[in-house]
């Protein structure tokens, strides 16, 4: 049954731990150093940013908002007061390695959130791909993200895709916790499985091949009837590789075009409604 399919991982088991997906300490370094060098144009002290009184709000507007920083780099005038040096200087660098820049920007946004005391109610679940396995994995756990990025868990690279989730410790009662399981039944590949469904979670807990690691983040629940999502959230599609490569794998994405691409490769939609919506991502 595909319910027991899982996110394939390396042989090393990764333990779950509640944590922020971004690294504010690293963001402080990036803010002041090349290639981001935010402090050169704004101020090394973010609270003294020379653009703080402009319509855009300067660097404070990027506190816990990596999407706004990326928008300022890629779409001049949409998030800034006209065309700025961010586009002229950073856009050529950004497009060379968007996944790396997205990771750096997430850290900078976390640092700015810390500086300005802006509390984020969401965090990013980052997607990775293992080229040898042709498998996908997603995590919002800071320690895992750091080890995936620095090669401690080898073979994994960022796809450049992510979606927002609620940290479980600060999630509202209306949100749904996502269960995470781990299995080594597909050796030499180990696997993780995620589900926001209480029914699926209970079922997998009863399977001795799977170890319940905990509730690792929260999401908005999708309608069981048609897969629709509440206002302020977007659909997260679940796709199953149908056991290709002798190990099951699921991919979770909010990107409709990526969903279509995976279906064209033979992946199977899972979830609620005709599109296979498994959960809803807060915006």
Q: Which residues pair with 281 in a beta bridge?
A: 234
pLDDT at 81: 63
Read off the DSSP letter of residue 223: P
pLDDT at 82: 62
Rounded CA separation 224/238 (Å)? 14
pLDDT in tens, 170-199: 788 889 999 998 888 888 877 788 999 999
Read off the DSSP letter of residue 26: H
Q: What percent of the chain has pLDDT over 70?
A: 90
pLDDT in tens, 57-90: 789 988 887 877 887 888 776 666 666 778 888 9
Poorest-pLDDT segment among 17-21, 33-37, 97-101, 260-264: 17-21
Specify the higher pLDDT residue, 176 or 52: 176
Residue of 160, 187, 165, 199 whose CA lies nearest to 70: 160
pTM score above 0.75: no
Q: Are 122 and 68 in contact (CB under 8 A)?
A: no
């Amino acid at each position: 049954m595909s319910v027991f399919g899982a996110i394939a991982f390396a042989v090393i088991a990764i333990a779950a731990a509640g944590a922020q997906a971004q690294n504010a300490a690293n963001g402080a370094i990036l803010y002041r150093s090349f290639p981001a060098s935010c402090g050169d144009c704004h101020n090394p002290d973010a609270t003294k940013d020379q653009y703080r009184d402009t319509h855009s709000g300067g660097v404070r507007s990027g506190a816990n908002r990596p999407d706004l920083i990326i928008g300022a780099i890629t779409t001049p005038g949409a998030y800034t007061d006209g065309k700025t040096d961010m586009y002229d200087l950073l856009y050529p660098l950004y497009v060379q390695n968007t996944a790396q820049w997205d990771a750096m920007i997430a850290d900078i946004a976390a640092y700015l959130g810390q500086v300005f005391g802006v509390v984020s109610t969401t965090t990013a679940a980052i997607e990775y791909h293992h080229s040898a396995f042709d498998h996908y994995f997603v995590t919002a756990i800071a320690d895992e993200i750091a080890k995936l990025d620095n090669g401690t868990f080898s073979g994994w690279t960022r796809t450049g895709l992510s979606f927002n989730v609620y940290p479980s410790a600060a999630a509202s009662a209306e949100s749904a916790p996502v269960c995470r399981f781990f299995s080594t039944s597909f050796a030499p590949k180990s696997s993780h499985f995620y589900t926001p469904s209480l029914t699926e979670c209970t079922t997998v807990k009863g399977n001795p091949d799977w170890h319940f690691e905990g509730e690792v983040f929260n999401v908005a629940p999708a309608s069981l009837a048609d897969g629709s999502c509440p206002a302020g959230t977007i659909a997260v599609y679940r796709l199953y590789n149908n056991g290709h490569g002798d190990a099951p794998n699921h991919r979770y994405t909010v990107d409709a075009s990526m969903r279509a691409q995976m279906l064209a490769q033979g992946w199977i939609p899972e979830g609620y409604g005709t599109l296979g919506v498994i959960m809803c991502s807060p915006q």
